[in-house]
Amino acid sequence: MEIFKLLVNVIEIVLFGYLGIAAVYFLFFAFLGIFPYHGKVHPAPVLRKMAVLIPGYKEDIVILEVAEASLNQNYPSDSYDVVIIADSFKPETIAKLKKLPLKVVEVVFEKSTKSKSLNAAMEAIGDDYQVAVVLDADNIMAPDFLEKINQAFESGFTAVQGHRMAKNMNNSMAVLDSISEEINNHIFRKGHRVAGLASGLIGSGMCFQYDMFKKRMSEIKAIGGFDKELELTLLRDQVKIEYLDDAAVLDEKVQDKAVFENQRRRWLAAQFIYFKRFAWDGVVQFFTHLNIDFLDKVYQMVMPPRILLLGAVTIITLVMGILSFFDFQWLKELLAISFHAWLIIWIFTFLAFVFSVHRKFYTRQTLIAILTLPMGFWLMFKLLFRLKGANKTFIHTQHGVSGMNSKKQ
């Protein structure tokens, strides 16, 4: 009995510590994200030549709209080039793209990845650029996006993340994905910059000093999650990543359960892989160079996803609350953490969500979408046991078609 009690105590303490630290972390940065953050604005910035890199795999449905929209920038047209990286596009799509005032780089790979496409494109277009802008094939920049990016580079930054936000909220899954994106922006980008830490990268709507980006990308061989590897190596080398809350990029949100599962499975797998790869380095960097940004990012790789945190803490707190009504002495002796301690962690988690969710989402549509949260929690929980091999196969998410499943190559 004593051994069993010890085992239960250890499991509960470890679980409380893991979820509790995450709850405090989320609440801290969610609170900081409430405060405004603005970069410096220079009245007459140098106009940097930019390459807007848009890799796409079989994105014939959305690419023409995205290409045309990318040409509509307030930034001088001779100071930026739109580069469509066409992997497995239809011939008629290629023909239409070539009629537009942009560059088309056709690529073919035995196994396609975003990093391969970006590397091939930069080899093809040369080095006559100062800034690389990376978009997804469904992204649409706000007309002033490049102007604001240029301002950030004028302030001395060499890596900048724009504010990616939802293009669509046409069903409950898309609404939840939109809210998730904004929570990420609030906590991992704006909240971090208010604290003086580096912003996180997303994977698109991000911009880099061109020669630095080209060199670093040539060293990245990731099949999935290349942005995580790029982010970790930048922070390891103490490159501060800026966040522009007012530089908007519209992004299509997932509308289908299968797409959600494939996307999150890839993300979770990438996180665990990079945690194992960089964990020790993060600790060493912290003690030798006081590199808080790098250690912070390494910790993020092993944090519970927010929906799992909310679901797990809610379930445990409810169970502990129910058990507290029963005056079982053996139960009180068995458990190491009280109901009130779990309740505090639940309140922290709840407040983090309240601080992070923008007021525009306080709608009836959101209320309906919240009813699907238990399904989202269950899907994410199942994915924890299906991560093997997720980062060894290219998983493509089809854009522009509601309800279409993601496809594998």
> Over the stretch 80-125, which tens digit does the pLDDT of each residue have?
999 999 999 999 999 999 999 999 999 998 888 899 999 999 999 9
pLDDT tens, position by position, 280-298: 999 999 999 999 999 999 9
- DSSP β-ladder status, 103-107 and 80-87: parallel
Instruction: With respect to residue 225, please indicate whether it lies within any of the assigned structural domains.
Output: yes
Sheet holding 140-141, edge to edge: 103-107, 80-87, 50-57, 131-134, 206-209, 159-166, 242-251, 140-141
**Rg of the chain's alpha carbons, rounded to an integer?**
23
Instruction: With respect to residue 292, please indicate whether it lies within any of the assigned structural domains.
Output: no
Instruction: With respect to residue 295, please indicate whether it lies within any of the assigned structural domains.
Output: no
**What is the CATH classification number for the domain harbouring 256?**
3.90.550.10
User: What is the average pLDDT value for the chain, to the nearest integer?
Assistant: 88
Instruction: With respect to residue 63, please indicate whether it lies within any of the assigned structural domains.
Output: yes
Q: How confident is the model at residue 253, as a pLDDT?
A: 80
Q: How many domains, in total, are found in the chain?
A: 1
pLDDT tens, position by position, 360-377: 888 888 888 787 778 777
Name the 3-class secondary structure at 396.
strand
pLDDT tens, position by position, 123-152: 999 999 999 999 999 999 999 999 999 999
User: Could you tell me the pTM of the whole model?
Assistant: 0.88
Terminal-residue alpha carbon distance, the chain: 53
Instruction: With respect to residue 17, please indicate whether it lies within any of the assigned structural domains.
Output: no
CA atoms within 13 A on the CB side of 289: 14
What is the Cα–Cα distance from 177 to 211, expressed in whole angstroms?
34
Instruction: With respect to residue 7, please indicate whether it lies within any of the assigned structural domains.
Output: no
Which domain range does residue 263 map to? 50-271
Instruction: With respect to residue 229, please indicate whether it lies within any of the assigned structural domains.
Output: yes
pLDDT tens, position by position, 176-234: 888 889 999 999 999 999 999 999 999 999 999 999 999 999 998 776 678 999 999 99
Q: How large is the average pLDDT for residues 62-67?
A: 94
> Does residue 387 register a pLDDT over 70?
no
Instruction: With respect to residue 363, please indicate whether it lies within any of the assigned structural domains.
Output: no
Using an 8 Å Cβ cutoff, are 183 and 306 in contact?
Answer: yes
